[in-house]
Amino acid sequence: MKAAQTGFSTAAILGFSAALITLVLDQVTKLYTLFVYDLPLKEPVEFAPFINLIVVWNRGISYGLFQQDGDLGRWVLIVVSILAAIGLSIWIRRTKAKLLALSLGLIVGGAIGNVIDRLAYGAVFDFIQFQVGNWSWYVFNVADAAIVAGVIGLLYDSFVLEARRGR
């Protein structure tokens, strides 16, 4: 089906596809790691010399900031994430810029993936840890990685490509 037939631009189709793929990959990896591989019983697992699999229940936002112990904080994070996903989806629908739409889609898919965790478990399931010697990066999941990649793409689009489009 062509973009003109659906009423969506090619960029919007790309953005919404990225959101869906991100959401599916995020949830599949989390469900597999939790319930099939049973990481909580096997952790820590050295996946590669610099990647460990461990279980972290993140009740805050990125990097474990603003940890929420109560239901009010959890629901505030859920509502804010849903509102952000809706707003970014409207932006995807309106843009003609492919990288912008892709980047926004990564953020939307990651945000929805983490909302599902908060609804299902009360916290976000993070399980991938980069570690080199004694130095360790924060523990994350596919949704978090997609959000970071989306923000990088958004910044690149805003500061580099937008300037080129303005010429």
Active site positions, annotated: 126, 144
Give the residues across from 56 on adjacent strands.
126
Token pair recorded at residue 105: 């889609």
Distance CA 136, CA 127 (A): 13
Rounded to the nearest 5 degrees, what angle is found at the Cα of 41, between the Cα atoms of 36 and 42? 85
Distance CA 108, CA 97 (A): 16
DSSP characters for 25-63?
HHHHHHHIIIIIS-HHHH-SEEEETTEEEEEEEE-SSGG
Count CA within 13 A, CB hemisphere, residue 121. Answer: 17
Count the residues in the chain.
167
